[in-house]
Structure 1
Amino acid sequence: MKQKDFSKLDDQQLLKENKLAKTLLIAYSIIFLLMILSAIFTTTVKGIGFFTFFPLFFLPIAVVMWINSKTYEKEIKSRKL
C-alpha cells in the first residue's frame, strides 16, 4: 500500500482520514477474526488444508492498516488536535 504524506493534509482532512482508517481497521479486524474462526472450524472438521493457512495471506494487510492508523494518531498528537 502506498503511504500518504500526512504532513501535507490539513486538519479536517487528517481527522477525516483518521476516522476512515479506524473504521476500516475495525471492519477488517472483524472479517479477519471470522476467517480465523472459520479456519479453526474447518481444520477440526476436515483436518489441515488450504483454509487452515488462508488467514495468514491477509495478515500483512491487517498489519499495514494498523501501522497506518497509528501513524495518523501520531500526526494528530503532534498537531495537538
Structure 2
Amino acid sequence: MKPENLAELSDQDLLQKIKKMKNNKIIDAVIIGFTIGIVVYSAVKNGFGFFTFFPLILTYIIVRNSKNNKILETEIQKELNSRNVK
C-alpha cells in the first residue's frame, strides 16, 4: 500500500490495519521459531541436506516481508499522528 492511499483511509481503517499488523508480527515470530526448530531437529536427526535448509528459505521470505511491513507500519503511524489519533 502506498502512502497516498493511506490518506484516503478512515481513522478506524488505519487503526484496524495497525492491529492486524501487530497480530501478524506474532504469527511471523511463531512461524520463524517453528522453522528454525525444524532445521535444528533435521540437522540433528538426519544431518545436513537440502531439506535441512529448505525451511530457512521460508524464514528468509518471512523476515524480508516483515521488514516491508515495518516500513508500512511506520507510515500508518505517521498518518495517525498527523490526524492526532491515538
What TM-score results when the alignment is normalised by the length of structure 1?
0.74
Runs of 4+ in 1 over 3 A off after TM superposition: none
**Corresponding residue for 1:48?**
48
Aligned-residue CA RMSD (Å): 2.0
Give 5+ residue unaligned stretches, structure 1: none
- Please list the CA deviations of residues 4-54 of structure 1 after superposition, one character each: whole Å capped at 9, or x if unmatched: 532322211011011111101211211111111111121122111233212
Query: Are 1:14 and 1:72, in contact at CA under 8 Å, matched by a contact in 2?
Result: no
Report the AA paired with residue 76 of structure 1.
Answer: Q
Bigger Cα Rg: 2
